Amino acid sequence: MIVVISPSLTNFVSGNSNLPFMTLKVDTSGGGIRPDYALFVGQFLREIGIEVEVKVNEWGVFVGELIPVDYDIRFVHIQFQYNDPDPSHAFSTNGLLQFSNLNAQVPFVNESEDLLKTGLYMSDFTLRKSIYDIWQQLFMDKILPIYPLFSRHRYEIVWENTRGYNPNYGLIDNLPYMSFNGLHLGQESTDMFSIGGYSWNGLNPLISKDKSSGFMIQLLSEPLIQTNNSGFPTTTGLIENWVQLDDYHYEFQVRDGIFWNPSYNISERNSESTELFNAPLMKGLKGESSNGSNQRFTAKDAVFTLLCWANDITSDDSHLYEWIEKIWVDHVDDLVFYIAVDGDSETLKKEPFVPIFSRLGIACLPEFFLNSTSYEKSLTSGGIECTGLYSNIDYTPEWESFEESAFYCGKYMIDYFERRNVTVLQRNHNWYGVGAIDGQSGLQPFVETFKVKFHRDVEGVLQEFKQGTIDFCDITPFPHERKEMEQQSYIIHEGQLNSFDCMLFNLGRPFIGGEENSFWLSDIGSEEYTLACAVRKAICYAINRSEINQILYDNEYLIVDHPLPPLLSPWFNDDLIKYGFDLDKASEWLRAAGFYAAENESIFSYTFRSSLYILATCLLVCLETIYYNKRKLKSYGLQRRKYFVDYPTAVSSETYQNALNSDLKQDNKSDFLLNSYLR
């Protein structure tokens, strides 16, 4: 028996109509761009003999499945802070990638964690960049838990009667500067602004992490620290001034004259309810409520908020605030508080913590409502003793009611909501009135009523915008539509995003992870790579991002190679390994991982990782090649399966069935996929 390695994996597979050598499950949501990504990945991986099964979930199920169980690949959108390159919030074992089984058992993860931690207290730019250069190479070369795809310009469209929008800032920051000049088609009032969106899960930022909930929370609240367009902290947030006393101590002063919005219970309200001021008031754990003028915002609220974020009783992200060594309210001035930092609490030596301001861009919580009178004590991740935050406090009726009837001291208050239909908010006339864009005071949101109408997908939002029943739309996913609408009665604004889309590997799954993370390649020059990493590399090299960019985005998106968004390009490692489309390299890495093509057999065989298994497999191949040339083989305990030619039944959309069965090389591919996406 002679085992032959095909010199061209793509030619080998293209002549093979039989069987793949592995099956990967792709988990995606319905609607949006993720199903399109899944369709392309399935097409490209089929070229190298990998079958792809796609599971399409409802959006709520997709974002709710945090623990990876039955998928190999999913697509995620990763958001970064403007003012700091710190990637630990996304790419540490406690960050986003904990849900992809990134853990200390995966080779090189401990080294990655050490580098990320070191970068947090390296204040010198040159030294800090050198740390992140090393980390980027290690992360993308030896670990490779993600495959970056695209970053994009943001295109937002409004009707021509909408004035004053600045695309370099978010919609919420723009509200005090905007105005209507008359009515547009389909618009009923100039005192209401309507947008489309998705259903939110909850209004407590400690618990609800989805983008839709985050948007609603921003409408209701103001952050402790705001940042300007360049990402630097400003004095326009709830904290209006600060002093860095030394490398480890900060003094902060919160804004005076702010009162918490009324603690309205809006759970029973609907479109037929009376005026919002008639709604009953909720009482918190201390038995107190807010009527809009009796509960003053003070430094105590800021300290309580940070203690909640740093305590794993109330926060899933307590590790992000481990750097808070001490925090306390001034004994004389209740508008002043102090923070002592230690960037590495595991060592005796104190370290600075550089990205402190990015961690203060959070909504402030009402201490009078959510804190308790209990004397029970608990500890934060940094070892601070808390009194009042006790086990399961977040399951009390008061905390649970705050989830849907949340109140803050921001621009708007919730009037009523209908789940999966609409949320209506009313202007807070007591908002402190300082604009985030230029610091101008005496401002107010330009409309009395803000309405968010929920849709299952972005296509529905665009269609309703065209009808004139909503006033604002993100048109980024629709380049063809945007170019047509530029010639009509609309205004299109272009901005940038500090985020990117990527493909996420589940490192707990066979072939791309699991036990294969423990087996090392024996090829010369490849000893520092695991078998699973080699398969992940092959997958990355097999995906043609340029083709996806051309078909879906008319080449308008930026292909991303770094685990950082383009806005952080000064922090890029210029020598980073990159995974451009290269089927020869994909073939090389599959060969290194032990996938072989047997002579006169259009199949792959996956080698076992012990000499006994290797010998058994070779003998089996030899015998069956001689005596049963057409017989199907087993490899690594995996029963050979029928070659994947039909789109998975998990995808019910006839559009995608037709798309996958069509020839993606045809000239009309772009128009066909775009039309299917717009439906």
Q: Which two tokens stand for residue 285?
A: 């754990």
Range from 164-168, 231-235, 404-408 that averages highest in pLDDT: 404-408
Q: Is 107 a residue whose pLDDT tops 90?
A: yes
Q: Residue 113's closest CA among 133, 138, 79?
A: 138
Q: Average pLDDT of 637-642?
A: 25
- Single-letter residue type at 484: E
Tell me if 266 sits within 8 A of 416, measured CB to CB: yes
Lowest mean pLDDT among 110-124, 419-433, 455-469, 623-637: 623-637
Q: Residue 156's closest CA among 490, 466, 422?
A: 490
For residue 369, give the 3-state DSSP assignment. helix
User: Residue-wise over 242-265: b if at least 16 C-beta within 10 A, else e?
Assistant: beeeeebebebbbbeebbbbbbbb
Every domain of the chain and the residues it spans = 20-151+499-593, 153-198+411-496, 224-403, 594-641
User: CB neighbours (10 Å) of residue 607?
Assistant: 17
Q: Is 376 a residue whose pLDDT tops 80?
A: yes
Q: Average pLDDT of 372-397?
A: 95
pLDDT digit string, tens, across residues 492-526: 999 878 899 999 999 999 999 999 998 998 755 56
DSSP annotation of 675 reads H
Q: Residue 146's closest CA among 660, 503, 676, 653?
A: 503
User: Could you tell me the fold of the domain covering 153-198+411-496?
Assistant: D-Maltodextrin-Binding Protein; domain 2 (3.40.190)
Same fold, 20-151+499-593 and 153-198+411-496: no
Q: Average pLDDT of 89-112?
A: 87
Q: Is 330 a residue whose pLDDT tops 50?
A: yes
The residue that leads in pLDDT, 93 or 427, is: 427
Instruction: Give, in degrees to the nearest 5, the angle at Cα 586 between 585 and 592.
Output: 85
Question: How does the average pLDDT of the chain come out, rounded?
Answer: 83
Helices 669-678 + 545-553 axis angle, to 10: 60
463 class by beta-carbon count within 10 Å (0-12 exposed, 13-18 middle, 19+ buried): middle
Q: Is 277 a residue whose pLDDT tops 60?
A: yes
pLDDT digit string, tens, across residues 30-71: 666 888 999 999 999 999 989 999 888 764 444 444 455 678
- 73-79: strand order across its sheet: 50-57, 22-29, 73-79, 499-505, 146-151, 558-559
Q: Residue 12's closest CA among 605, 619, 541, 620?
A: 605
Q: Average pLDDT of 211-226?
A: 95
- Single-letter residue type at 611: S
Whole-angstrom Cα distance, residue 154 to residue 448? Answer: 27
Handedness of CA 205, 208, 210, 211 (dihedral sign): negative
Where does 20-151+499-593 sit in CATH, by number?
Answer: 3.10.105
Whole-angstrom Cα distance, residue 16 to residue 49? Answer: 9
pLDDT of residue 668: 31
DSSP annotation of 409 reads S
What superfamily does domain 224-403 belong to in CATH? Dipeptide-binding Protein; Domain 1 (3.90.76.10)
Q: Average pLDDT of 349-369?
A: 94
pLDDT digit string, tens, across residues 550-582: 998 888 889 999 999 988 888 999 999 999 999
Q: Residue 129's closest CA among 500, 446, 570?
A: 570
